[in-house]
Amino acid sequence: MVISYDNLWKLLIDKKMNKTDLKDQAGITYNIIARLGKGESVSMESMYKICKCLQCNIGDIMEFKFD
């Protein structure tokens, strides 16, 4: 199983935001952004902050891909 955050990156483009904007507005760290970029898991608290910032649901920014 792989976690994909491709939808997050697409949503950022649609909202004309970059990763630094997301970090600042969502109140998350560069470490979280790096983990997202590598497709690694992050805490639900971080996902909540991102969803709240982007006004979306968790399914809008991530998905599980099964082999």
Predicted confidence (pLDDT) at residue 40 exceeds the cutoff of 80: yes
Confidence (pLDDT) at 67? 77
Q: What is the mean pLDDT of residues 49-59?
A: 97
Q: What is the mean pLDDT of residues 23-39?
A: 97
CA distance 36 to 22: 12
Confidence (pLDDT) at 50? 98
Predicted confidence (pLDDT) at residue 16 exceeds the cutoff of 90: yes
Walk me through the domains of the chain, giving residue ranges and CATH numbers: 2-65 (1.10.260.40)
Q: What is the mean pLDDT of residues 16-30?
A: 97
